[in-house]
Amino acid sequence: MTTSNDPYPIVFSRGKRVSLRPPQESDIPRVLHWLNDPGTRRFLSRVHPLTELEEKRFLETTATPGGNHQPFIIVESETHEPIGCTGLHQIDWVHRRAELGIFIGPADKRGLGLGQEAFELLIAHAFEGINLHRVTLTVFAFNDAGIRCYERIGFVKEGVDREAQFVEGRYVDVIRYGMLAREWFARKNNVSH
């Protein structure tokens, strides 16, 4: 596992406060800890227990370049301490689109702007690195922090799937957000001028 003492820290995409790197097998215990936690998975589409074997198999599917998943570990840039996961999923190389996912594991690391920074690194990779045309995500209607974060980044609300998800004993609406490459570049040019 990459730590602050590692002479060869792995960094795929460097940001001010957080960076992205590919997952390693040694990340699995931490990811299992985060993704089985009810306080995290209530925001995700995870209702089945996540096992070590399932996570290992998932990582194996990502080991071939050009596949349809690109997962990343979010680390703090200074210490290389892992704080969450993000990634491109269901990448469609013909129609140039992908579904995004993200979570920050430790609750005390949420609401500090780190999720926004990590997602911006991921989106920059999607549009500027691998030339995608469109990225999308879904968020449960009760996830106020997620919605706030995505709208601030510039995602466009594209629709609502009413009562599409069963979470903690009730059906909840699922909101769909999308962003096109030209929207990302327009926003980037606006910010830098």
Cα separation, 114 vs 105, in Å, equals 11
Is 131 within 8 Å of 88 (Cβ atoms)? no
83 makes contact with ligand COA (CB under 6 A): no
Stretch that binds ligand COA, among 54-62, 74-82, 139-147, 176-184 (CB under 6 A): 139-147
Stretch that binds ligand COA, among 102-110, 155-163, 168-176, 182-190 (CB under 6 A): 102-110
Encoding tokens for residue 148? 């706030």
Cα separation, 154 vs 178, in Å, equals 9
The values of phi and psi at residue 10, to 5°, are -95, 125
Name the H helices within 44-159.
52-61, 114-124, 144-153
Which residue, judged by CB position, is nearest to ligand COA in the bound state?
115
Stretch that binds ligand COA, among 1-9, 110-118, 154-162, 182-190 (CB under 6 A): 110-118
Is 19 within 8 Å of 11 (Cβ atoms)? yes
Pattern 9-48, ligand COA, x by CB under 6 A: -------------------------------x--xx----
146 makes contact with ligand COA (CB under 6 A): yes
Q: Which is nearer to ligand COA, 96 or 109 (CB)?
A: 109
Stretch that binds ligand COA, among 71-79, 114-122, 125-133, 158-166 (CB under 6 A): 114-122
Burial (Cβ within 10 Å: 0-12, 13-18, ≥19) of residue 190: exposed
Cα separation, 95 vs 31, in Å, equals 31
CB atoms within 10 A of CB 125: 18
Pattern 116-135, ligand COA, x by CB under 6 A: x-------------------
- In the set 145, 156, 160, 186, which binds ligand COA (CB under 6 A)? 145
Residues that bind ligand COA (CB under 6 A): 40, 43-44, 102-104, 110-116, 139, 143-146, 148-149, 152
